[in-house]
């Protein structure tokens, strides 16, 4: 039996599902993983939709394509796919990719510690994996430098009023708001619909009112939002819920004021939060920062040093967490399938 596309993937989660494609993708041109990502975006974006939309995906779904590395120091490369964008970097996805490469035998595992280097679109990511009995127990990586772009900025959010936010870069630009500004709202699963509504509105208002720039990635702006607050769990220092966009937001259409919650504590979001806290004098270097997600799981971050990005003061974060393999999948596209890029419906998706 022949198919139009046959793709091999390993299904993982760190709370949020993170698919890792291990085979079936033709050679993607480019002399860096960043260039490969841009080629894919321009020439085969239907692949991203095929992998992430129904019936093969759903709104809170990420995907990674493992590609040959371009940098001589890298052991493997990976391109990150999300519902509306190709991120430069993602912490949870990096943890999942490293886990798959080692547990599936694509790269050799050494116990108790395996060191490897991955090439993300953002550049080289150094990884230390704790391994035991053929399993990856924890992945720690050195992220790209993070920095605060705006601190305690006041934005006007339609239908919400004035909201105080920070904006930080941790591999993506996050707008971060303290959840205590919204009476009755708590960072727990049963408040998920209201969390996504408020987060989506804050993100759009921040895009419109708070300009950002990264010297190395021109044109990359605020794409994601984080509600943040204290936790009473002794396993963590702070709690957060990141909302990922699943489509464009229109102020004239309340049905688009939504998104999908990141079910994990969010790696790049943790790095952005640490950069903001450090800029405010609230998080020193060389101190663990245990960041809790909506399911109660924790990523542990740490600021290992200071750096500069252009004229901006920055910090160098590390992040540690765990991902679990939950399936092995062969994804196919039938020649007669009337939906070669998948589909979305207004019951759980915004208008596309």
Which residues does the annotation mark as catalytic?
90, 266
Burial of 132 (0-12, 13-18, 19+ CB in 10 A): exposed
Q: Are 132 and 111 in contact (CB under 8 A)?
A: yes
**Which regions of the chain does DSSP assign to beta strands (E)?**
5-13, 17-23, 62-67, 76-81, 113-120, 123-132, 135-142, 147-157, 161-169, 173-178, 222-229, 238-244, 260-261, 289-292, 298-309, 312-321, 324-333
Burial of 184 (0-12, 13-18, 19+ CB in 10 A): exposed
Q: Are 80 and 92 in contact (CB under 8 A)?
A: no
Residues 6 or more apart whose Cβ sits within 8 Å of residue 232:
none
Q: Which of 261, 283, 262, 263 is nearest to 271 (CA)?
A: 283
Q: Which of 272, 264, 183 is nearest to 16 (CA)?
A: 264
Q: How many helices (H) and strands (E) does the chain have?
A: 5, 17
Q: Which of 163, 287, 285 is nearest to 228 (CA)?
A: 163
């Amino acid at each position: 039996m022949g198919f139009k596309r046959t793709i091999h993937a390993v299904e993982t989660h760190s709370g949020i599902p993170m698919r890792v494609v291990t085979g079936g993708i033709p050679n993607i041109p480019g002399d860096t993983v960043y260039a490969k990502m841009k080629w894919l975006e321009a020439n085969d974006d239907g692949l991203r939709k095929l992998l992430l939309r129904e019936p093969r995906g759903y709104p809170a779904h990420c995907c990674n394509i493992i590609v040959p590395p371009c940098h001589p120091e890298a052991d493997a490369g990976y391109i990150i796919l999300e519902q509306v964008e190709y991120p430069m970097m993602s912490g949870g996805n990096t943890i999942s990719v490293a886990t798959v490469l080692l547990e599936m035998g694509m790269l050799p595992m050494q116990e108790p510690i395996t060191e490897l280097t991955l090439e993300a679109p953002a550049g080289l990511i150094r990884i230390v994996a704790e391994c035991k009995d053929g399993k990856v127990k924890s992945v720690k990586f050195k992220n790209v430098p993070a920095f605060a772009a705006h601190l305690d900025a006041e934005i006007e959010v339609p239908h919400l009023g004035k909201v105080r936010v920070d904006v930080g870069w941790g591999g993506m630009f996050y707008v971060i708001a303290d959840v205590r500004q919204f009476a009755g709202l708590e960072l727990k699963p049963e408040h998920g619909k209201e969390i996504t509504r408020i987060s989506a509105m804050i993100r759009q208002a921040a895009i419109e009112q708070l300009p950002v720039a990264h010297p190395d990635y021109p044109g990359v702006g605020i794409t994601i939002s984080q509600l943040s607050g204290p936790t009473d769990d002794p396993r963590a220092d702070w709690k957060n819920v990141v909302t990922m966009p699943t489509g464009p937001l229109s102020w004239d259409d309340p049905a688009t004021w939504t998104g999908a919650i990141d079910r994990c504590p969010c790696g790049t979001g943790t790095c952005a939060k640490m950069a903001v806290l450090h800029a405010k004098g609230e998080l020193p270097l060389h101190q663990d920062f245990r960041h809790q997600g909506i399911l109660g799981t924790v990523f542990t971050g740490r600021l290992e040093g200071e750096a500069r990005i252009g004229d901006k003061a920055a910090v160098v974060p590390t992040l540690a967490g765990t991902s679990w393999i939950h399936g092995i999948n062969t994804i196919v596209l039938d020649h007669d399938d009337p939906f070669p890029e998948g589909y979305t419906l207004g019951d759980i998706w915004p208008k596309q």
